[in-house]
Structure 1
Amino acid sequence: MKKLIIYSLIGVAVASCSDFLNLQPQYQINENSFYKSPKDFETALVGNYAGLQGLHNTSVVNVGDLTTDNTDIKSTSPTTSEAECDEMNLTASNDFLNSIWGTCFATIARSNNILSRLDAVTMTDAQKNQYNGEALFLRAYSYFYLVRLFGNVPIVDVSFRSPDEIMNFDMTRKPVSEVYNVIIKDLTESATLLNGVTGLSKSQASVGAAKTLLGKVYLTTKQFDLAKTVLKEVIDLKAYTLNADYKKLFTNGNDELPESIFEIKYLSGNVGEGNSFSTIFMPSRFDVGMFPGNMQGAGRVLPTRQMANSYEKGDLRRAASIGDSVKLISGKYEKDLFGLKFVDFTTGIVGDGGINFTSLRYADVLLMYAEALNETSNTTEAHTYINMVRSRAGLPALAGLAKADLTLALENERKFEFFLEGHRWFDLIRTGRFLTVMNKYFKDNGLSFTVAEHEVLMPVPLREIDINPNLGQNPGY
């Protein structure tokens, strides 16, 4: 039984163990026929990046936006998991949390497989450094989601070659501080290994991506001086600029834009390679006439009226992020709020959106750097960087704000800049403002929902606890 428990927790970490996956057919890939050449490692990394498509397709947006004052559900038949996010009342059976846990640990396991096998294969130092750096980034990227959502989690930093190795490994949850130590070490090493590597796609880890994520980690752990240093290094790379047209970031053809630091690729026309934003961000109506074949929306994640009404006058991001009127099959338009980001109006097939999701972009670097400056008593200088983002949005510059006022201004700026990008929950948790903001939102809108102190962490998926009872559950669930 213990073999089953640990195998289920680690998932693909053991997928290459020939002891009990004795794959006989020649067309099957196993440990004896793979990880033998640089091309094999390229293939393995492509597969590992592909796993992030599912992570960002719906789960991150539901957990990052639907749990907040940004969005709500207007579906006629929401799932239990969607309703839990909307009401900020998540349970251990939530499908989105299950998906995030499983996807992140699968990515970690694949990364471990790659890292543990590189030294045994003949390749150039440049190739080895690149593959190492990419795998370390992906492992850190996954652990960063896990630790922010669930707190203590198991640390698995090895690749298993036999069931006995799995049986003897410590699968208990480790303190948050230890998880962050792993993340910081991985990202620091990744940035060093990837420094100078050229020709990378924006869908691959790079020195800029590693340092941007490291800056976010330092900001989250309140190591503001370190965050300030590493984020300034990203700026000084001069590899990224704000895209002049904000809307272009979220529409067809947004591949490899100068603002993009790390993006998740989606492809229309290939089964399983598209995204679902075109349905979940559109109203749940049978008469929508905005897509080929009159594909219907699902109304899963829609802007709240409060969100739609709270943009500053003249903010160019409003029209690029939120639609107010739906075109009907009849050709008429009817008032209805919906999200515009990542919505592919060229496809009429559910789950076939071909617009990339930008996970890390330069505007985030600028706003995080402003936050780090402000937190280290460089408030005057911090104005410069928030104003760069505001200028692109067509808004006037801020000036003369005190530290506390600029803190709130940065929170507000991030709310509008990253709407529907899965940032809001993580931002409010990071700054300790989640309970205040959400309880006020629920009260102001006459809703009976409340957020309790323990809900700043999500529940560990019940499925995982059933498999491995040693995981335990977070307090309050």
Structure 2
Amino acid sequence: MKKLQYAIVALCFCACADDLDQTNPNQLTTANYWETPEQALAGANAIYNSMLVDGAYMRIFPSLSDGRGDGVKADSPWADLVQVSNFTIPTTSAPVQWVWRDSYLMIGRANQVLANVPDIEMDAALKDRILGQAHFLRGLAYFNLANNFKVVPLVTTPPAGTEDYNPETAPEDALWELIRNDFRAAADMLPVNYRDVSGPDAGDLGRATKGAATGFLAKAELYRQNWQAAADGFAQLVTGPLAVYSLMPDYRDNFLQVNENNAESLFEVQFASPSEVGGADMNWAGEPLATWKQVSAQAVTYGADEYGYSDFLPTQWLYDAYKSERTVDGGVDPRLLTTLASYEPEANSTTIYGNEWPYAEDKIYPRKYTRDGFPGIANEFDFNSGINYRLMRYADVLLMYAEALNELGRTEEAYGYIQQVRDRAKLPDLAEVHPNMTQGEMRERIAHERALELALEGTRINDIIRWGWLYDGDKLAELQAHDAEFTSWSPGNEYLPVPQRELDVNPNLSPNSAN
């Protein structure tokens, strides 16, 4: 089976003025494009392509998400990254503008597919799969916008005229309702896998599946504190008809350019090195070129001094948290040295990128999603990382299921799902070391388990916000002790500001709490 390779398709069509008789035969228009099954599939592929640019998952979106958590602090000469990390973000921040821009790029392409593919004569099952992927990816884009900007315009159709160019900011509830509806539609339309389908997408790895849509729907319900709906969704993945996922034996298999799209992965962004798919030009942004690469720049952004830009460093709190509990055989939590690069002679780890540790012994760097340990990689400054970015893993599903159960008063049931994650890390039985926890104590334990299992995966700031920690005096003090950058947080600034450029050109757009 092959990994999905994203088509380099712009899907930005022009319309000629009515008083012109001549038509450029080399310029596609809406009227002459959406006609064949091949064009429908290319349209779906173009939505995936929008995840490869800088404001999406190539570099900036993961960086701004990690930087705002308490496990990561900025260490960059680039002021924008520092300001995002310490919650003093100007409305003119370029990286924030890129996140907004590329999210709506993804939405715009999904809207074109949803508007035009239904009228194409083609195999019904393939059409459903294409429409299901468009619903999933649009839902994902709005999920990211809702979590990062809180309120944004709701655009669900291609613009029919200039009157559609300035959409109004939508109510928060309407935004989340669209997210849920898109994920529901995707779950109804998508297959469990692409091994058992027939058509041009048969065997493709990397396309959205029923499990991915179900997982993100349940996650959306969890974020909105709809505990029963969340638990019901996660149950489908854990004990129900979609229980096709499992934890990989080796935690590190989830963050390398090998063993991608594995049994633990519900959905991941498909990056590839030029040796796999070619390309000579970096896929930073703009309209895609046939010569575009499909690489990730996150490895360079997070790479240690002399091997990358070291734009972010782990906090001492995160490092100490990994050391707070020994494994059943008395060792160090094995997730430490997958997530962080540190000098650990006790764990027989005194190298970085294959070389002897050149830094002070108390120095800590990110390792997850960097290419430390890859054969033949001697210089992280090579901008050609093909490591897929995992958006949802089965470990996250287990921990979210445990959280939903705990909030429903089923605290004892939560133990077993947390323990599956702990077992891989060789940690003691939670029911023995922390028996009979109250609901409140279990909340704290789940927060701890999520911090360690999902560090440097862009989830921590979302957890902090949805749990209300920033508006709880004790919790805020705790966050400030973890990461001094939280001392400059002020109410509302947990969100990214609506970019000033968008406010300037759209009179119907409202600022948010961070503006």
Of 210, 213, 216 in structure 2, the residue corresponding to residue 210 of structure 1 is: 213
TM-score by length of 1: 0.88
> Counterpart in 2 of 1:353?
385
Alignment of 1:300-311 (within 5 A): 300-311=311-322
Contact 2:498-2:514 within 8 A present in 1 as well: no
Decide whether the 8 Å contact of 1:231 with 1:365 is kept in 2. Answer: yes
Does the 8 A contact of 1:439 with 1:451 survive in 2? Answer: no
Question: d(CA) in 1 for partners of 2:50 and 2:264?
Answer: 23
* Separation in structure 2 between the aligned mates of residue 14 and residue 469 of structure 1, nearest angstrom: 27
Distance 1:222 1:193 in 2: 26
1:181 correspondence with 2:170 = no
Would you say the 8 A contact 2:405–2:414 is kept in 1?
A: yes
> What SS does the corresponding residue of 1:97 show, helix, strand or coil?
helix
Answering whether residue 460 of structure 2 is matched by residue 424 of structure 1, we say: yes
Per the alignment, residue 293 of structure 1 pairs with none
User: Is the partner of 2:359 in helix, strand or coil?
Assistant: strand
Higher mean C-alpha deviation, range 198-207 or range 173-182: 198-207
In the TM superposition, residue 166 of structure 1 has moved relative to its aligned partner by 3.7
- In the other structure, the counterpart of 1:275 is 296
| Structure 2 unaligned blocks of 5 or more | 1-8, 196-202, 281-292, 328-332, 344-350
Contact 2:70 / 2:483 at 8 angstroms: preserved in 1? no
Which amino acid is 2:392 matched to? L
The answer for the alignment partner of 1:191 in structure 2 is 187
Asked if the contact 1:69–1:438 (Cα under 8 Å) also holds between the matched residues in 2, the reply is no
Distance 1:170 1:327 in 2: 50
Report the structure, 1 or 2, having the larger helix content: 1
Return 306-315 or 114-123, whichever deviates more.
306-315
Partner of 2:80: 81
Which residue in 2 is equivalent to 1:70?
A: 71
1:405 and 2:441 correspond: yes
Provide the C-alpha distance between the structure 2 equivalents of 1:370 and 1:116, rounded to a whole number of angstroms: 38
Specify the alignment match of 1:366 in structure 2. Answer: 398
Aligned partner of 1:49 in structure 2 is 48
Which amino acid in the other structure matches residue 175 of structure 1? Answer: P
Give the drift of 1:154. Answer: 0.9
What TM-score comes out, normalization by structure 2 length? 0.82
Q: How far apart, CA to CA, are the structure 1 residues paired with 2:65 and 2:33? A: 37
Q: Which residue of 2 aligns with 1:60?
A: 61
Is residue 377 from structure 1 mapped to residue 376 from structure 2 by the alignment?
Answer: no
Specify the alignment match of 2:264 in structure 1: 259
Structure 1 residue 98 and structure 2 residue 119: aligned?
Answer: no
Q: CA deviation at 1:449?
A: 2.9
- 8 A contact 1:130–1:197 mirrored in 2: no
Residue of structure 2 equivalent to 1:8:
none
Residue 89 of structure 1, CA deviation: 1.7
Gaps of 5+ in 1: 1-11, 286-295
Which residue in 2 is equivalent to 1:471?
Answer: 509
Residues 39 and 446 (structure 1), Cα distance of their counterparts in 2 relative to 1, 3 Å cut: closer
**Residues 365 and 448 of structure 1, relative CA distance in 2, 3 Å threshold:** closer
Is the Cα–Cα contact under 8 Å of residues 75 and 82 in structure 2 kept in the other structure?
Answer: no
CA distance in 1, matches of 2:495, 2:180: 21
Amino acid at match of 2:147: R
RMSD: 2.5
CA contact (8 A) 1:276 1:350 kept: no
| Shift in Å, 1:25 | 4.7
Question: How much does 1:368 deviate?
Answer: 0.7
Q: Percent identity?
A: 26
Q: Aligned partners of 1:328, 1:213: CA distance in 2, in Å?
A: 35
> Does structure 2 retain, via aligned residues, the 8 Å contact 1:435–1:451?
no
Residues 99 and 20 of structure 1, relative CA distance in 2, 3 Å threshold? farther
| 8 A contact 1:115–1:135 mirrored in 2 | yes
1:74–1:284 CA contact under 8 A, matched in 2 = no
Contact kept, 8 Å, 1:327 with 1:334, in 2: the verdict is: no
2-structure distance, mates of 1:192, 1:369? 21
Q: Is contact 2:403–2:446 with CA below 8 Å preserved after alignment? A: yes
Cα shift readout 1:293-335 (whole Å, capped 9, x = no counterpart): xxx3101122112211221333210111111146599866333
